[in-house]
Chains A and B, each alone.
Chain A
Amino acid sequence: MSHAPNAYVPFELHGQELRDAVVRYASNPIYLDNEEWQNNDNPYRRQLRPQVLPHLDYDAVPGREDILDYSSLAVQRVLTSVYEADLVFLPKSGLKDRKWEDFQQFYSPSNRALGEAIRPALEKYAFGFLDDEVEISGKWTKESFHAYIESLGADDPAEASLTEKAILSSTDRERAARMWLIQFAPDFLSEASPMIRNVLGHYGATQSEWFKIIIDEYGYGVHDTKHSRLFERTLESAGLASDIHRYWQYYLNSSLLMNNYFHYLGKNHELFFRYVGALYYTEATLVDFCRRAASVLTSVFGDKADVEYFTEHVHIDQHHGRMALEKLIDPLIEEHGEHIIPEIVRGIEEYRVIQAVSDDDFATQIAWMDKGPEFKKLHAPVWAAIESGKVTAPVADIVEPYGELSNTHCHDGDELCHIVSGTMKFVSGFDSHQILEAGEGTVIQKNRLHGAIIESEECVYQIHSVGDYKKCLS
């Protein structure tokens, strides 16, 4: 008797089913809004703003021009949580009280399974823009690949980045530098975790080369020299706390994008060769980056800045780029053939794209924070245009009680916040705010991270979605 085999149906979620699954995942109590701006030594609490998630479309993959919109920020926050369910985090002050419950909740089979179910669709949403941004063609050989690598000049000193310029020319350099260090926390405090995903398995001599890089990152098993430990000291020397995700609400969209990208490559082993490329490029550019980072921090904070994290990389990573090329890439091409080269090139180029997005996002955020008083002043002319009927824009009327905290988010166009009565503390980044009283307000710039807290018994305010505030000024 013969049995017809069942038809294989690949797993896929989209449309309403996907939306429902995202909302279900994010409705876990550990992901609800916080009443404070910071998490307090609780690595399991991550504000995902589940109340907004039913209104987003997870199927329409955004292009690069829309990659900083709110839905991408929401997806990056969710993905960070999903990936990190594979990592072990324990609070510095111990698993007491609510943290024990949160620990069990975060690592529960339910949280893991719900996260895994939505991960492939959200990865497509988060990283799909790279399919359009990077395209490889032609027949690549070892020789042409080496010529290409040479042409990148990855280990040459680079020009000052937008980020560097933004910090050094900021109206509040210390605040800008702290905001910058906060952006690295998701990556550096669990440093090399995405990479370790490629240590498992059995794939020949290159596996041991990969492992050696990790040994360096882990300080050879001496805890005080583990790179994450060095970074904790950097944070503390700049007056910041070093517990995991304390500053969750201040992570920029692109900082999460960058960190998640490596988890995405490490979690999905079909992208192994892309990871090899991205790893080469990070390692090759790291020495120059770290040298500059140490100099920026020292110039901002003076000698009190503990920059060993960065200077250590300058010493240790000196040869990592070359090592990645000679000990990983070349042998892999030798063993598996030249058809893996396009994937390696793709990893390099994708990383470069994300780096550019991130550099621009951060510099723009610092300008947004620095110009807080100017955006507040812009309320008057924009409000006048609305009041006179010259501009009509969709409006939301909102009433909130004392202490209500709008967890950080961003909008897909410019908005005008207008206070009808009461007082609002409008927050535009770490340690950056404007107080808005009745009759006042602020322009909220497209894609800029912000939040707010009500400081009066009640606050009545309006959000006018003007799209482009400059059009209200002419």
Chain B
Amino acid sequence: MLVLTFAATGRGNCVEVDGTPYVYVRTASGSFVMRADCPHRGGPLHLAAEGPEGKSLICPWHERRTATVRMRQRIPAVRTGRTVRAVLPHPPQAEVSHQHRPLSPALAC
């Protein structure tokens, strides 16, 4: 496991670990850390729209839906002020870079 800190919003709001990007999002049904790439073909999930009743996120590429309740359960994280600390499923020696990813309105409530 790898614990990383990054910005909750703005510059550096994304960490890429061994090629997998993660962002912190605020949805209508709560805030959490999620993978920014879609499991289908790697589409930009950080630009997802909100599904009916806010229960899912819809990937902009092929409109695949993922239930937010499942996404929220995945990555243990704590946001304190503007900093997020997340426990990610990667080995400690993984390659890490901090980046910026824009978020769709549904993910920046």
Are B1 and A143 closer than 8 Å at their CB atoms? yes
For chain B, which range describes its interface: under 10, 10 to 19, 20 to 34, or 35 or more residues?
Answer: 20 to 34
| Contact (Cβ within 8 A) B78 A134 | yes
Interface pick from A145-153, A156-164, A176-184: A145-153
Secondary structure call for the B interface: strand
Known: A144-B1, A144-B87, A148-B3. A138 touches B80 (CB 8 A): no
A446 to B52 alpha-carbon distance, docked (Å): 47
- With A148-B85, A352-B80 given, is the CB distance from A137 to B1 under 8 Å? no
Q: What's the Cα separation between A190 and B67 when bound, in Å?
A: 51
Q: Give residues 315-355 of A contacting B (CB, 8 Å).
A: 341, 345-346, 349, 352-353
- Chain B 71-87, CB-CB to A under 8 Å as 1, else 0, gives 01111111111000111
Contact of B73 among A135, A139, A145 (CB under 8 A): A139
- Majority SS at the chain A contact face: helix
Give the most central of B1, B80, B85: most A CB within 10 Å: B80
Q: Is B17 an interface residue (CB 8 A)?
A: no
Note all chain A residues with C-beta closer than 8 A to B32.
137-138
Which residues of A have CB within 8 Å of B74? Answer: 138-139
Smallest Cβ distance from B40 to chain A, in angstroms? 22
Q: Are A137 and B72 in contact (CB under 8 A)?
A: yes
- By a CB distance below 8 angstroms, the chain B residues around A421 are none
Q: Determine if A40 is an interface residue (Cβ-Cβ < 8 Å).
A: no
Give complex CA distance A147, B2 in Å: 7
User: Which one of A135, A136, A148 has the highest number of Cβ atoms from chain B below 10 Å of its Cβ?
Assistant: A135
In chain B between 1 and 36, which residues have their CB closer than 8 angstroms to a CB of chain A? 1-3, 5, 30-33
CB distance from A95 to the nearest CB of B (A): 45
A349 touches B80 (CB 8 A): yes
Scan residues 239-278 of chain A and give those whose CB is less than 8 A from a CB of chain B. Answer: none
What's the nearest-Cβ distance from chain B to residue A261, in Å? 15
Task: Tell which of B2, B3, B72, B81 touches A138, judged by Cβ atoms closer than 8 Å.
Answer: B72
Q: How far is the CA of A262 from the CA of B79 in the complex (A)?
A: 21
Which residues of B are found within 8 Å of A138, using beta-carbon distances?
Answer: 32-33, 72-77, 86-87
Chain A residues with CB under 8 Å of B87's CB are 138, 140, 144, 147-148, 151
Complex CA distance for A341 and B77, rounded to whole angstroms: 11
How far apart are the CA atoms of A137 and B80 in the complex, in Å? 11
Name which of B76, B79, B86 has the most chain A CB atoms within 10 A of its CB: B76
Q: Which residues of B have CB within 8 Å of A151?
A: 3, 5, 85, 87
- Report yes or no: B81 in contact with A137, Cβ–Cβ below 8 A: no
A147-B3, A148-B3 known; A137+B77 contact, CB < 8 A: yes
The interface residues of chain A lying within 8 Å CB-to-CB of B75 are 137-138
A140 to B33, CA, bound (A): 13
Contacts of A145 in B (CB 8 A): 76
3 smallest CB-CB distances across A and B, nearest first, come from: A151-B3, A138-B76, A144-B87
Jot down 13 A-B pairs with beta carbons below 8 A, ordered by A.
A135-B31, A136-B77, A137-B30, A137-B78, A138-B73, A140-B76, A140-B87, A143-B1, A147-B87, A148-B85, A346-B78, A349-B78, A353-B81
